[in-house]
Chains A and B, each alone.
Chain A
């Protein structure tokens, strides 16, 4: 469907006059009922057939078009007495406050009027906003005396939401309307009212438009009972009260009763517009649920704007649980056959693919590589059924469009919420697989921030050739190995990939040739020529490296020794790659891990994304097959330290606790000297924290001495960067350390003490949350309690942080979404106004940069140095 393109020159916002409302109305609504006993809509009722039709069979009585084509027509209700529109109550108040109660002129002197009119006229001509000047007028025009007729003015207040009080007298809506009517037209512009599109008195309603039935459709329940929309309910209320008010007025009822009914009518009209207006109890459904009226339909996250206009539900998408599959490429996604048969790809029939398409149609919608629909050139869509497929195949010719099932190799968009960065939506190639989960390669977990504890992900199927082409060149996973955040790889090996590669490439790792071939076969890597002798793990890994690669770097296991022994490093942490051969050093997180991989980074930048994908696919498979050959396991035995070490740690900790006692004693004897810019108490706290921190670190160091990377898999994981840290291990083995709440030692709880087990004002290590035990020995009840306090704070912080950063992100995105980098390197907004004369001030795409820099000179020099054999 193609429309006519026109540029919008101007949009005018104004108020609807009572005449406008009556003019657009097709019927006056009088009866507060909807349907009669036979289920037919009542004439002049809220479901009047002239308001439009919903049933596709019927014709509209007003416009003659069929249901579905007719967008509905407004009706109107004549309100017995005027009521104030909630949305304009504030404006009405401001206008009344700025105009004279007698002559209704603006409370400005003649000179001021001329001046302001002049300024406003100029601003309108220059298309500037006049909001600020109008605000100024509203403050200036609050005078006690009218400059025109010298009448003393009374103070007018607004009693939320709609009552306007002058002095002690509450103005009725009719009186408000009369005053607004009296304001001369030449003063309108001074009050911010454009008299071409609005008059102040229109803010007080005398006629209420009734939205068409298409806006408030009734739902027929299974029992045959009709359930009306909230808006209809509200309109019924309005009509009922309106009716009673009219009857009472005609019967000449006492003023008091009429006023009460009038008030009630005002309430119903108010809640009809906004059921969350402050100062009004919300109107409720019979069940007690507050009604969703006009304002609630539009407002907020679930409102029309954010959920129906800015974002929509789409077809050709699928969602299910994800699970890992180390055997598919990072570029692929495993799609359950069930989904592959449901979501389709439209393919245009050509003389070259017609036979293939016939096969799909012949398979029908239930057999996997089949087809669900066929669209003829005239736009008619036919569903493929086993009974009709032969007839469809008969008629099929070039120009038709076949909606065939997803098959291996199709490009789809894969996404995990929250979509915080561009790597949250990447294009994958389909692999149709059995079972019911999406399968993804483990290397793409970091960019999606996915794990497999029940995470679900979405898939979208491209419907045009252009989108597929664009996605393939811009959105494929391999194009996003490098993150624009820091110019390094965000996709890379994780967990066992790292441990596996380390086990495979460490110095002690030597394999017999048959073992090597087993490993390579399992990793599906092409077999090299047999050498007839044993292989080192480094030689195996070298098979994956590009032949002309040269680089040096320090591995993750590097201990930052004072003097680097380079190639002679006893940890084997100095990695040297010479002409694609791993000469020294182990492969760990710094080699091909996500967020860190140096080799991976270099492969992407020097050899391109295709090579990088191949490298990552085979390196991870090799690591997995390596770890399976070697075997890998961990238990609490890995955090075991000898009795002697335990005693030394115990001694160390008690010494530290003694030192804390000494500090406290010095403090109570007022011998402690305050640090510059700190109070005595703060100094004491700092010193204690320092002593206890040191004690924890020292005890950790003691424990670490007994952790041998060659015998202990937990240590392998911590040191190679696969998972966990040395701190985690020492907390298990030696000492958990100080617990903190709000960045300091724990202070909250009872008055002057954390728990009743301590003396008031006690400042010792234990009394303020120092956990002396290790996780392995177990925490005593007091320690456990402090530990829970610290742990709880961590959880609360993360919850709050996500909420805060989510809102911040939303505002940033809204502010920046229209900016783009133009071909000349400038950053401009949608009007062409320059934001930056050069993108990022250096025209560098961070995703293509070397960790944010244009080039890393040191790296280039290192590379050349190795090449020249130095």
Chain B
């Protein structure tokens, strides 16, 4: 029995950014993608949304302090 982890309440929403979106976000944060926190390509969430090495994920989490919080992670293998 395989569960769809994307539907689990503890798994925040992950989306893969497009090239232009990456550029925009990097400009906003004034950093290189290399400076982002990393996530492994074989992480269950990456497998589930089929993220490849080099992709940047946008993660929308619930936050105690801010209510909703957006962060980014770079996929690596």
Say yes or no: B29 contacts A842, CB within 8 Å.
Answer: no
Segment of A6-14, A316-324, A469-477, A833-841 engaged in the interface with chain B: A833-841
Chain B 54-74, CB within 8 Å of chain A: the 1/0 string?
Answer: 000000000111100111100
Say yes or no: B35 contacts A832, CB within 8 Å.
Answer: yes
Chain A 537-579, CB within 8 Å of chain B: the 1/0 string?
Answer: 0000000000000000000000000000000000000000000
Partner of A841, one of B31, B34, B63: B63
Task: Assess whether A499 is interfacial by the CB under 8 Å rule.
Answer: no
Partner of A836, one of B31, B34, B35, B71: B71
In Å, the complex CA distance between A844 and B71 comes to: 17
- Known interface pairs A824-B30, A826-B29, A841-B63; A833-B69 also in contact (CB < 8 Å): no
- CB-nearest residue of chain A relative to B34? A833
In Å, the complex CA distance between A174 and B57 comes to: 58
Which A residues are in CB contact (< 8 Å) with B69? 838, 841-842
Say yes or no: A842 contacts B71, CB within 8 Å.
Answer: no
Task: Assess whether B36 is interfacial by the CB under 8 Å rule.
Answer: yes
Task: Assess whether B37 is interfacial by the CB under 8 Å rule.
Answer: yes
Say yes or no: A841 contacts B35, CB within 8 Å.
Answer: no
Task: Assess whether A852 is interfacial by the CB under 8 Å rule.
Answer: yes
Chain B 2-46, CB within 8 Å of chain A: the 1/0 string?
Answer: 000000000000000000000000000111001111000000000
Say yes or no: A837 contacts B30, CB within 8 Å.
Answer: no
Say yes or no: B37 contacts A835, CB within 8 Å.
Answer: yes
Say yes or no: A840 contacts B30, CB within 8 Å.
Answer: no
Q: Which of A840, A841, A844 has the most CB of B within 10 A?
A: A841
Whole-angstrom distance between the Cβ of A516 and the nearest chain B Cβ = 47
Which A residues are in CB contact (< 8 Å) with B36? 833-834
- CB-nearest residue of chain B relative to A837? B71
Say yes or no: B65 contacts A840, CB within 8 Å.
Answer: yes
Which A residues are in CB contact (< 8 Å) with B66? 838, 840-842
Whole-angstrom distance between the Cβ of A365 and the nearest chain B Cβ = 55
Which B residues are in CB contact (< 8 Å) with A840? 65-66
In the complex, which range does the number of interface residues on chain B fall in?
A: 10 to 19
- CB-nearest residue of chain A relative to B62? A841
- CB-nearest residue of chain A relative to B36? A834
Tally of chain A residues near chain B (CB < 8 A): 15
- CB-nearest residue of chain A relative to B32? A832
Partner of B31, one of A834, A844, A852: A834
Say yes or no: B30 contacts A834, CB within 8 Å.
Answer: no
- CB-nearest residue of chain B relative to A846? B65
In Å, the complex CA distance between A852 and B70 comes to: 20
In Å, the complex CA distance between A826 and B29 comes to: 9
Whole-angstrom distance between the Cβ of A822 and the nearest chain B Cβ = 10
- CB-nearest residue of chain A relative to B67? A842
Say yes or no: B37 contacts A842, CB within 8 Å.
Answer: no
Say yes or no: B65 contacts A834, CB within 8 Å.
Answer: no
Which A residues are in CB contact (< 8 Å) with B70? 837
In Å, the complex CA distance between A714 and B64 comes to: 41
In Å, the complex CA distance between A837 and B74 comes to: 13
Q: Which of A826, A828, A833, A844 has the most CB of B within 10 A?
A: A833
Which B residues are in CB contact (< 8 Å) with A844? 65
Chain A 828-870, CB within 8 Å of chain B: the 1/0 string?
Answer: 1000111111101110100000001000000000000000000
Whole-angstrom distance between the Cβ of B28 and the nearest chain A Cβ = 10
- CB-nearest residue of chain A relative to B68? A841
Partner of B65, one of A832, A835, A841: A841
Which B residues are in CB contact (< 8 Å) with A832? 31, 35
Whole-angstrom distance between the Cβ of B61 and the nearest chain A Cβ = 8
Which A residues are in CB contact (< 8 Å) with B37? 833-835
- CB-nearest residue of chain B relative to A828? B35
Whole-angstrom distance between the Cβ of B16 and the nearest chain A Cβ = 17
In Å, the complex CA distance between A834 and B33 comes to: 10
In Å, the complex CA distance between A842 and B70 comes to: 11
- Known interface pairs A841-B63, A852-B65; A833-B35 also in contact (CB < 8 Å): yes
Whole-angstrom distance between the Cβ of A497 and the nearest chain B Cβ = 33
Q: Which of B37, B65, B71 has the most CB of A within 10 A?
A: B65
Whole-angstrom distance between the Cβ of B30 and the nearest chain A Cβ = 7
In Å, the complex CA distance between A840 and B37 comes to: 16
Whole-angstrom distance between the Cβ of A203 and the nearest chain B Cβ = 36
Whole-angstrom distance between the Cβ of B63 and the nearest chain A Cβ = 4
Which A residues are in CB contact (< 8 Å) with B31? 832, 834
Say yes or no: A834 contacts B63, CB within 8 Å.
Answer: no
In Å, the complex CA distance between A241 and B30 comes to: 66
Which B residues are in CB contact (< 8 Å) with A833? 34-37
- CB-nearest residue of chain A relative to B72? A837
Which A residues are in CB contact (< 8 Å) with B64? 841
In Å, the complex CA distance between A38 and B71 comes to: 76
Q: Which of A834, A836, A852 has the most CB of B within 10 A?
A: A834
In Å, the complex CA distance between A837 and B71 comes to: 6
Partner of B29, one of A834, A835, A841, A852: A834
Which B residues are in CB contact (< 8 Å) with A835? 37
In Å, the complex CA distance between A833 and B36 comes to: 6
Which A residues are in CB contact (< 8 Å) with B71? 836-837
Say yes or no: A842 contacts B35, CB within 8 Å.
Answer: no
Chain A 682-717, CB within 8 Å of chain B: the 1/0 string?
Answer: 000000000000000000000000000000000000
Q: Which of B31, B64, B70 has the most CB of A within 10 A?
A: B31
Whole-angstrom distance between the Cβ of B75 and the nearest chain A Cβ = 15
In Å, the complex CA distance between A572 and B72 comes to: 53
Which B residues are in CB contact (< 8 Å) with A852? 65
- CB-nearest residue of chain B relative to A853? B65
Chain A 804-839, CB within 8 Å of chain B: the 1/0 string?
Answer: 000000000000000000001010100011111110
Which A residues are in CB contact (< 8 Å) with B35? 828, 832-834
Say yes or no: A837 contacts B65, CB within 8 Å.
Answer: no
In Å, the complex CA distance between A837 and B66 comes to: 13
Say yes or no: B65 contacts A842, CB within 8 Å.
Answer: yes
In Å, the complex CA distance between A841 and B37 comes to: 15
Chain A 340-374, CB within 8 Å of chain B: the 1/0 string?
Answer: 00000000000000000000000000000000000
In Å, the complex CA distance between A833 and B73 comes to: 11
Whole-angstrom distance between the Cβ of B47 and the nearest chain A Cβ = 22
In Å, the complex CA distance between A836 and B71 comes to: 8
Whole-angstrom distance between the Cβ of B10 and the nearest chain A Cβ = 17
Say yes or no: B29 contacts A837, CB within 8 Å.
Answer: yes
Which B residues are in CB contact (< 8 Å) with A834? 29, 31, 35-37
Whole-angstrom distance between the Cβ of B33 and the nearest chain A Cβ = 10
Whole-angstrom distance between the Cβ of B59 and the nearest chain A Cβ = 10
Interface hits, A89-117 → B, CB 8 Å: none
In Å, the complex CA distance between A838 and B59 comes to: 13
In Å, the complex CA distance between A841 and B71 comes to: 9
In Å, the complex CA distance between A835 and B37 comes to: 6
In Å, the complex CA distance between A832 and B37 comes to: 11
Which B residues are in CB contact (< 8 Å) with A841? 63-66, 69
Whole-angstrom distance between the Cβ of A704 and the nearest chain B Cβ = 38
In Å, the complex CA distance between A828 and B35 comes to: 9
The 7 closest A-B pairs by CB, nearest first: A842-B66, A842-B65, A841-B69, A841-B66, A841-B63, A837-B71, A833-B35
New contact pairs (19) apart from A833-B35, A844-B65, A852-B65, CB-CB < 8 Å: A824-B29, A824-B30, A828-B35, A832-B31, A832-B35, A833-B36, A834-B29, A834-B37, A837-B70, A837-B71, A837-B72, A838-B66, A838-B69, A840-B65, A840-B66, A841-B64, A841-B69, A842-B65, A842-B66
Question: Which residues in B have some Cβ–Cβ distance to A below 8 Å?
Answer: 29-31, 34-37, 63-66, 69-72
- The contact sample of 11 A-B pairs, CB cut-off 8 A, is A824-B30, A828-B35, A832-B31, A832-B35, A834-B31, A834-B35, A837-B71, A838-B69, A841-B69, A842-B69, A844-B65
